[in-house]
Structure 1
């Protein structure tokens, strides 16, 4: 690659999690990294140029990307987090750069558009994007509650409320943006996620997992866990087939990851929840890395940058799971050093002590995190239960 051809990366995750310099070593000197002020120092010296944006979530990041493109020599823009999908797609489209553009990005971000696409292939919850009170009264008369009120364009289960009764529904939607609100029928069942790679509307790799708890567990300060299913489990095959149907119904993309969430009712039927064109949060990156033998984000970023990378298609035997322990409401006064069992692959502490907490605000908020493995999903479930008990023993709250 000539020095005039630059790859721009929009990325706010710290270098300790995503060491981009070593992942993209062949072109690191020709990379311009646009990142948050908090993460910038960790990348300095590893990239050709590092641009720190004081408020990375603001439009300033977009203006930096546009300026770099106007200056010329930008061959690609690489990104990886949900908050960058739409805005990076728009800049790519404006300057004729390869990669995902706005129409495809919108289908993977806007849950109203997403459900319209997925609904052509699989069952989706009955829903509406019209929160006019008269329309909601009509909707509620036809679609029994409870109902879920959520932003159309958000992630991490932020802003989601489960409501019962028309009065509750009208009150919850009254203060919401009518252009960014979805109301859908609550689905009773187990929540699963399927993570993998897709390309050209086809699934290349799919690894189904089951959530232990729900993505709203954080609202009650309850841990959220996940365990990869055994390949021989009939539910695993059912979820893989469902993923193929969903990916085929959404706009085709270049090679990249997906994170699909699916409800499984008590009768065994599956209902679409949502899909993202990026890796899932929590410790899904670490869980997949242990199972696949390669970091999926590294593979994805190399592909986006135009570098060679092999998408893994055959996971190793066994199962990997993770546990997110959210903060409670109260004061955390101590975290003892634990004696970790051998099945714990990763353990992290995400806070200093002492510290006051007002609870969690998203499904991926964590005080403590565990990644564990085992020969079967049943073993991993038991290991995660043990980690939940361990987290209670080593934390002191007042």
Structure 2
């Protein structure tokens, strides 16, 4: 910035409450220049720490978020536009493009949001399940004849496992496709086996560091009312090292980014030693992944990402590794009334979050990250960690009394 030139503003689109993401503490160097566009529910908390806060109703689906960002760019000198949730990634990238603001643009963002573009980009370097955009029902049935049942039907731009269905026959496939927009649907081969996730930071196509974890159950377990868990692998595990190499191959195949966290999901096919790409995202993982990463690395990955987006110094490349392994458990709500909830918890639980006040009625889960209870635990190695997670799952089933519908 030349001498005498007024500093520009930092526009932040961010709906998470200040109690979870204290942006004023993370970004003290630029706090007086922040203009925050946030949800109506989070606005009051941020007004106590920022001078310029714009509240938007129904934030994830409201075009007013983009309108406010465009107006800021039209009337002010905007140095950076910062965001951190999946519902903002693409729309904020398009605003950056329109106003030539530094940061991830729409072409980059689409590679991490549009599962068709994503799989097209990586399919030459890593195995991917068979996939297609079903232009006609006949083409989808032909795809099923080639890859077999079941098939997976999902939105191209979805997240949080919303809208993902496993179909087992032509009639179910027809019903699924009939209810979806033709330009936002993908059909995939079903890959049986274990699902892993790899989380870390990348910069310009190079993985700076990563941590591999195994899902206990699957990301679709919530559809059956089952808990979703995850356990970090031991660093010396050969599979962890293969997953780290897989993540590097994926990072190189996608558009180079500035310093950015990533969340990658990988299938390990049953009966083989083959790894298959599921999907990836240029953000931190959902659920309690952020918490287990902080325990493992000593850093809050969202804080470092936001500082990087603002052009500030950050320590995303400097984890302080713990000798322990960490995992989490997400317990979805059932369809019914939670009558009671025991307060005691297992000794090895590091953090327990309750999202219910009995008696309380729930309509079930709508996404993989919907929970009535979640927790973080640890173990000196992966085996002990998995034992602790299974013990936590048993305890959670006993701790809640439900009247189901």
Query: Normalization by structure 1: what TM-score?
Result: 0.97
SS of 1:287's partner is helix
The answer to whether 1:331 aligns with 2:337 is yes
* Equivalent runs, 1:1-398 vs 2, <5 Å: 4-57=7-60, 58-266=62-270, 267-311=272-316, 312-313=318-319, 315-341=321-347, 343-398=348-403
Aligned length: 397
8 Å contact kept, 1:192–1:261 = yes
For the aligned residues, what is the CA RMSD? 1.2
Deviates more, 1:32-41 or 1:329-338: 329-338
- Structure 1 residue runs of 4+, over 6 Å off? none
CA contact (8 A) 1:332 1:354 kept: yes
Matches of 2:81 and 2:12 in 1, distance apart?
A: 6
- Note the C-alpha offset of 1:116: 0.3
Q: Structure 1, unaligned stretches of length 5 or more?
A: none
Deviation at 1:169, TM superposition (A): 1.2
Deviation at 1:131, TM superposition (A): 3.9
Give TM-score scaled by structure 2 length. 0.96
- Please tell me whether the aligned partners of residues 39 and 59 of structure 2 are also in contact (alpha carbons under 8 angstroms): yes
SS of equivalent residue, structure 1 residue 282:
coil
Give CA deviations for 1:72-112 in whole Å, capped at 9, x if unaligned.
Answer: 22100000001111000000010000000010100100001
**How many Å apart are 1:313 and its aligned residue?**
4.4
Displacement of 1:232 in angstroms is: 1.0
Preserved CA contact (<8 Å) 2:299 2:319: no
Say whether the 8 Å CA contact 1:3–1:30 is kept in structure 2. no
Unaligned runs of 5+ in 2: none
Q: Please say which of residues 234-243 and 126-135 is displaced more in the overlay.
A: 126-135
User: Residues of 2 paired with 1:307 and 1:45: CA distance?
Assistant: 23
